[in-house]
A and B are shown apart, each in its own frame.
Chain A
C-alpha cells in the first residue's frame, strides 16, 4: 500500500484555482520527485497535503485521511514538512530549533539518540549549536531544516525545493545526504525541485507539474530517457 496518496487534490487561493486535481502516490521507502517551474503548484501541493490550506479531494496517509486536517495533525502522524524558505526559527538557537523538531516525540532518551544521529549527518550543526539559527548560511539553514525534520523521526519527509538559492556544490551535498537518510533511516521522501536533473538522479519516480496539473509522470529513468519529455518539461 502506498504511504501517501493524493486523489484529485484541488486547491484555490481566493478565486484562483491553483491545483486542478493532483493524483499521485508515494510508496513507502521511496524517494519521489515533483518537478516543475515556478508557479507550477509545487509549494501549494505540499501545503495542501499538510492541510495548511483548504482543499477538496483526498489526501490519504497510510491508507487513512489525515484527521483534523492541519499541519499540527500531519506532524503528529509523522509527516515532516521542510517548507519553502526552510522554516528557520531565526531568533532561536540551532539547538533549540532541533529540540523543537522533536516536539511531537515523548521519549527524551530517544530524542537524544536522534539528536546524535542528526549531528552525525550534519556535523556543522553541532559546531554552531548555540548560534542563532538566523545567522547560519543558506546551506546550513537547509541542513538545519532537514535535521530538524529528522528530529521528528518522520515516516514521510516533504522537502520543498531544497536547492533554492544554494550553490551547486552544497546542493549536491544535500541530495547525497537525502539519499543516505532515505536508505539508513528508512524515511520516505517527497521532494519538489526545479533542478530536474539532480532530482531525477535521486528519485525513483517523478511527477512533472505544470500549472496545477500533472503533465507527465513515471519512473525517473523513463522520464530521463524520453527526449520529448526532457526537452519540453525538464529543459535539458
Chain B
C-alpha cells in the first residue's frame, strides 16, 4: 500500500537496494544467483500485488458507494468521499475519548448509516425529481459543507489514526506481507460479502434493487421508492465510511484525506461500469494492483503520476468503452 503513504522513498528504489545487497553475497555459481534473483522478483511482485489489492479494496468500497447511489439516482454523489472523511473523524473522536477501536468503528457505522438516511430525507428528498444537474450541484454543496465542517470542528493538522490491525508482518513461505494490507483486504471482502448477501438474499435488498432499476414498476408493487433511496444512501455511507476507516491509518487523518481517494474510486467505478456493483469491486481491485505495479516498475510514474494515471483511465474508458467492464450499455430511443 506504499503509494498512499506520504513517504518520499520509492518502493521500487528500496526494493532495488535490497536486491543489490543480496546480490553482493557470495554465491556458489551463476545459476544459483540467477534463480535467487528470479525468486526475489516473484516475491516482490507478490508483495506489490497484495499491497495493490489492499489499496484496491479501499477504492472498491468507495466505488461501490458511488455505484449504489448512481444506480438509484443516475447521479454521482460527489460528497461521498467527504462524508467518509467526516465519519472517520467521528470514529477518531470516539477513540480519543477512550472507546475501544472496533466499538468505535461499529458506532461510527451506525451513525453514518442513520446520518446518511437523514441527509437523503432532508436534503435530497425535496429535489428528488429535479433535473440531475440540480442534484449534482447539491452533492457538490454537501462536499464543501462537510469539508468545511470537519476543518471547523477538528482543524486541519494531520492526525494519526490508530490501525485496527497488528503491525507484525505475516510470512507465507518466502514472501512477507504486511498485516495491514491483509487486514484491509479481509475486512473489505467481508463487508462486500455481507452487502452481496443483503442484496441477493433478503426481501429488502431485492426491493432496493427493483426500486433502483424499475422505479415506476416497483411502486406499483407497493415498494416505497423514497425510503429505498434513503436506505441506499445509508448503505453507501457505510461503505464509504469503511474506506475512510481503512485508509486513515495509512495516510493520516485530515479534512482533505479523501479527495484523491474519491478520484481513484470514481476511476474504479467507471472502469468497472458505473452502474455495476460487481464492476465497482473488480474495477477497484484492478485499479489498485495496476497503479501499484505501475508505480513500482515504471520509474517515471513513481508516486507522483498515479493520480494522472487514474484520470487517464477515466478518460480512456469513457472514450473506448463507456459501459466499462461490467456495466450496461444504455440505449436511448430518439
Q: Which residues of A contact B (CB under 8 A)?
A: 50, 52, 70-72, 75-76, 81, 83, 87-89, 91-92, 96, 99-101, 103-104, 148, 152
Contacts and interface: CB of A to CB of B under 8 A. Distances in A.
Given A100-B206, A100-B218, A72 B213 contact: no
Contacts of A88: 217
B223 A70 contact: no
A100 B220 contact: no
Given A72-B225, A89-B213, A81 B206 contact: no
Contact of A101 (B213, B214, B216, B221): B221
B210 A100 contact: yes
Interface in B47-98: none
A167 B225 CA distance: 35
Nearest to B213: A91
A103 B221 contact: yes
B203 A71 contact: no
Given A99-B203, A103-B203, A92 B221 contact: no
Nearest to A151: B221
Contacts of A81: 220
Contact of A103 (B209, B216, B222): B222
A75 B220 contact: yes
Given A96-B206, A100-B206, A100-B207, A71 B220 contact: yes
A50 B220 contact: yes
A87 B217 contact: yes
Contacts of B321: none
Interface residues of B, number: 17
Given A92-B210, A99-B206, A103-B203, A87 B220 contact: yes
Given A70-B219, A71-B216, A89-B218, 7 more contacts: A72-B223, A75-B222, A83-B216, A83-B217, A100-B207, A100-B210, A100-B221
Nearest to A77: B222
Contacts of B219: 52, 70-72, 75
Given A96-B206, A99-B203, A99-B206, A104 B222 contact: yes
A100 B210 CA distance: 8
B222 A72 contact: yes
14 contacts: A52-B216, A52-B220, A72-B219, A75-B220, A76-B222, A83-B220, A87-B216, A87-B221, A89-B214, A92-B210, A92-B213, A96-B206, A100-B203, A100-B206
Nearest to A70: B219
Contacts of B217: 83, 87-89
B224 interface: yes
Contacts of A71: 216, 219-220, 222
Contacts of A91: 213
B169 to A, nearest CB: 44
Most chain A Cβ neighbours within 10 Å, of B209, B214, B221: B221
A27 B217 CA distance: 27
A99 B218 CA distance: 12
Contacts of B220: 50, 52, 71, 75, 81, 83, 87
A224 B112 CA distance: 64
A76 to B, nearest CB: 5
Contacts of B209: 92
Contacts of B221: 75, 87, 100-101, 103-104, 148, 152
Nearest to B226: A72
B28 to A, nearest CB: 62
Per CB-CB distance, the 5 closest pairs between chain A and chain B, nearest first, are A75-B222, A104-B222, A87-B217, A71-B219, A81-B220
Interface string B218-236: 1111111100000000000
A169 B222 CA distance: 32
A75 B221 CA distance: 6
Contacts of A148: 221
A184 B238 CA distance: 47
Nearest to B328: A91
